[in-house]
């Protein structure tokens, strides 16, 4: 298909927020060069009470549009996740080999995928099914990272946010849009962040040997045994 031009690397970050610059290949995948922001620490972020104006370089309006485009609706979890990504990114600073880890499958993966070059499918986002509302951005070569989490002690002045996050019955009658507005008002003041050092990169770099399943003919990792998971009894579907 010579008529189809394959674009150069790094287009995604331009599309996303203009913060990144195109990188070069490494580790068999494109390397996103994360920008070098002003050195910041938690204390220099928007304090509680001061309305934030941006998330990862996006205006709040642009963030809301992108959230509804990607996630499908205005989501308290993705909005909070946006401030967490922003806080971790500011804390981390320069990270040429950016990876991300989220500690829940709910909402936070979309905040990371919307705002950084890290996706589940490209392997730069790892998802831990811990049920914890926290995430870490880190450089997979230096293993320096920044972990952000929602601080329940900071929710006292934001009852709508507290009722949502703590799953109180009072939240059931509240529209999600109202909770989103409350989170936007609280901004970075709801989030805590601190530097961490990764024990190891989470990305599994190894390509494992595969083999054809004798029952269905489809390829699967040899380490699973002869039969693939579906033919071994785990199928989620009937033919």
Binding to a copy of itself (CB under 8 A): which residues in 17-56?
A: 25, 29-30, 32, 51
Closest CA to 56 of 112, 125, 123, 128: 112
Residue of 169, 173, 206, 209 interacting with a copy of itself (CB under 8 A): 209
Q: Residues 6 or more apart from 206 whose CB is under 8 A from it? A: none
Supply the minimum distance, in Å, between the C-beta of residue 63 and a copy of itself: 9
What tokens does 23 get?
A: 């990188």
Least Cα distance to 176 among 48, 46, 90, 79 occurs for 79
| Least distance from a copy of itself to the Cβ atom of residue 227, Å | 12
Min separation Cβ 72 and a copy of itself, Å = 5
Asked if residue 85 lies in contact with residue 115, where contact means CB atoms within 8 angstroms, the answer is yes
Out of 131, 169, 173, 206, name the contact with a copy of itself by CB under 8 A.
131
Residue 160 interacts with a copy of itself (CB under 8 A)? no
Per CB under 8 A, 9 contacts a copy of itself: yes
Residue 184: CB minimum distance to a copy of itself, A: 4
Q: Residue 200, interface with a copy of itself (CB under 8 A)?
A: yes
Residue 197 in contact with a copy of itself, rule: CB under 8 A: yes
Candidates 32, 18, 220; CA nearest to 141 is 32
The sign one gets for the Cα dihedral 155, 157, 161, 164 is positive
Q: At its nearest, how many Å lie between a copy of itself and the CB of residue 74?
A: 5
Residue 166 binding a copy of itself, by CB under 8 A: yes
Answer whether 23's CB lies under 8 Å from 94's CB.
Answer: no
27 alpha-carbon distance from chain centroid: 21
Q: Three-class SS of residue 116? A: coil
Indicate whether 2 belongs to the interface with a copy of itself (CB under 8 A): yes
Considering the rule CB under 8 A, would residue 174 count as an interface residue with a copy of itself?
A: no
Rounded CA-CA distance 186/143 in Å is 30
Work out whether 229 is an interface residue with a copy of itself (CB under 8 A): yes
47 CB-contact burial (10 Å; exposed 0-12 / middle 13-18 / buried 19+): exposed
Residue 123 in the binding site for a copy of itself (CB under 8 A):
yes
Nearest approach in angstroms of CB 73 to a copy of itself is 4
User: Would you give the binding string for a copy of itself spanning residues 74-113, x where CB under 8 A is met?
Assistant: xx-xx----------------------x-x-xxxxxxx-x
71 in the Ramachandran plot: left (φ > 0), alpha (ψ -120 to 50) or beta?
alpha
Which lies closer to a copy of itself via its Cβ, residue 38 or residue 105?
105
């Amino acid at each position: 298909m010579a008529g189809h031009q394959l674009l150069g690397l790094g287009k995604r970050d331009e599309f996303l927020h203009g913060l990144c610059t195109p990188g070069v290949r490494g580790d068999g995948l494109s390397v996103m060069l994360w920008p070098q922001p002003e050195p910041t620490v938690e204390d220099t972020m928007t304090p509680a009470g001061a309305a934030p104006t941006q998330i990862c370089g996006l205006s709040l309006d642009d963030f809301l549009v992108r959230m509804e485009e990607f996630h499908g609706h205005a989501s308290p979890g993705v909005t909070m996740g946006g401030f967490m990504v922003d806080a971790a990114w500011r804390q981390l600073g320069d990270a040429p080999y950016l990876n991300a880890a989220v500690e829940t499958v709910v909402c936070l993966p979309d905040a990371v995928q919307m705002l950084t070059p890290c996706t589940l499918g490209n392997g730069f986002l790892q998802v831990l099914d811990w049920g914890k509302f926290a995430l870490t951005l880190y450089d997979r070569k230096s293993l320096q990272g920044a972990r952000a989490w929602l601080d329940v002690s900071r929710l006292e002045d934001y009852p709508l946010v507290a009722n949502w996050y703590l799953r109180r019955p009072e939240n059931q009658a509240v529209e999600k849009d109202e909770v989103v507005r409350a989170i936007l008002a609280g901004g970075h003041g709801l989030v805590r962040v601190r530097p961490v050092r990764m024990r190891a990169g989470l990305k599994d770099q190894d390509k494992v040997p595969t083999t054809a399943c004798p029952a269905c003919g489809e390829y699967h990792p040899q380490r699973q045994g002869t039969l693939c998971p579906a033919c071994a009894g785990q199928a989620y579907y009937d033919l």
